């Protein structure tokens, strides 16, 4: 009888230990699980150097600097030669980069902030002139087409052509030559106005199709720059 009692106690003890371990495990793994944090969009970087609309006299390499942006893991520096349209890109996790550029050309630069998401943030776009040595006069920066937006479509009739530009030499005076046509083989070679003083011109376009146009910016020292060809379509 004593052996039977001891065996029964031993069996119950094993059963309690087994159940107790299982219950403890269930209690430790219970409760809701917090979802992973939602990735945040990167914010825009703030440019620092080279300053906008200035002359750069770097000898070997131009040092680009910008402020860190929130929720950003890497930065892509885009540099564009405004005369040749050559684009140089450099990706870094730092907030500065040194790039060797050809002297005697105007450039624009911009920072693209990225992270693990598919979102990107674009900084402002600044311009500078890399002369290598101080110049008394600089050609104006190429005009930037505003309207019609490149590749857009507009209704026939009165069409507003507008653009912006900048120049390191703040005291220069400027005028514009406008070229506009529909010649796909030799685009934007027909001059429609010379020495125009404003930055907006309304033209009457009643023939549907693709139009090609560009703006030549001239200063009072005889230097000039070309916006490059932009296109838009006039609808029927």
Note the pLDDT tens digit of each residue in 9-45: 444 444 444 444 444 444 455 667 777 777 789 999 9
pLDDT at 139 over 80: yes
The pLDDT, as a whole number, for residue 15 is 44
Residues 93 and 119 in one domain: yes
pLDDT at 214 over 60: yes
The pLDDT, as a whole number, for residue 23 is 44
Say how many domains are in the chain: 2
Q: Is residue 196 part of a domain?
A: yes
CB atoms closer than 10 angstroms to residue 163 = 21
Per residue in 59-78, pLDDT (tens digit) is 678 999 999 999 999 999 99
Q: Is residue 36 part of a domain?
A: no
pLDDT-derived band at 211 (thresholds 50, 70, 90) equals: very high
Residues 55 and 90 in one domain: yes
Q: Which one, of 172, 175, 53, lies nearest residue 106 by Cα? A: 53
Mean pLDDT, residues 96-122: 93
- What whole-number distance in Å separates Cα of residue 136 and Cα of residue 169? 9
Beta carbons of 99 and 79 less than 8 angstroms apart: yes
Q: Which one, of 113, 109, 17, lies nearest residue 56 by Cα? A: 109
Q: Report the mean per-residue pLDDT for the chain.
A: 87
pLDDT-derived band at 56 (thresholds 50, 70, 90) equals: confident
Q: Is residue 88 part of a domain?
A: yes
Beta carbons of 154 and 147 less than 8 angstroms apart: no
Phi, psi (degrees; rounded to nearest 5) at 50: -65, 145
Question: Whole domain around residue 173: which residue ranges?
Answer: 144-234
Which of 63, 95, 130 corresponds to the end of one domain? 130
Residues 225 and 192 in one domain: yes
Residues 149 and 224 in one domain: yes
Which of 130, 159, 189 corresponds to the end of one domain? 130
Per residue in 172-203, pLDDT (tens digit) is 999 999 999 999 999 999 999 999 999 999 99
The pLDDT, as a whole number, for residue 58 is 65
Residues 150 and 223 in one domain: yes
Angle subtended at Cα 208 by Cα 200 and Cα 148, rounded to the nearest 5 degrees? 30
Give the CATH number of the domain where residue 64 resides.
Answer: 2.60.40.10
Mean pLDDT, residues 209-224: 95
The pLDDT, as a whole number, for residue 28 is 52
Alpha-carbon distances of 185 from 181, 188, 202, 211, 234, rounded to whole Å: 11, 10, 25, 12, 18
């Amino acid at each position: 009888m004593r052996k039977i009692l001891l065996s029964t106690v031993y069996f119950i003890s094993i059963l309690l230990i087994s159940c107790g371990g299982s219950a403890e495990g269930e209690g430790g793994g219970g409760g809701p699980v917090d979802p992973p944090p939602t990735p945040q969009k990167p914010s825009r970087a703030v440019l620092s150097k080279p300053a906008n609309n200035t002359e750069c006299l770097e000898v070997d390499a131009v040092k680009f600097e910008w402020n860190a942006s929130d929720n950003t893991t890497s930065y892509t520096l885009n540099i564009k030669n405004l005369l040749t349209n050559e684009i140089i890109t450099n990706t870094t996790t730092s907030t500065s980069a040194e790039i060797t550029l050809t002297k005697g050309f105007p450039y624009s630069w911009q920072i693209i902030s990225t992270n693990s998401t598919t979102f990107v943030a674009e900084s402002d776009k600044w311009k500078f002139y890399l002369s290598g040595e101080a110049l008394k006069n600089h050609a104006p920066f190429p005009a930037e087409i505003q309207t019609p937006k490149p590749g857009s479509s507009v209704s026939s009739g009165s069409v507003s052509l507008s653009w912006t530009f900048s120049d390191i030499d703040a005291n220069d005076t400027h005028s514009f030559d406008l070229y506009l046509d529909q010649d796909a083989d030799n685009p934007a070679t027909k001059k429609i106005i010379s020495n125009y003083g404003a930055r907006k011109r309304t033209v009457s376009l009643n023939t549907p199709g693709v139009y090609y146009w560009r703006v030549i910016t001239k200063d009072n020292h005889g230097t000039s720059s070309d916006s490059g060809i932009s296109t838009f379509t006039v609808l029927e």
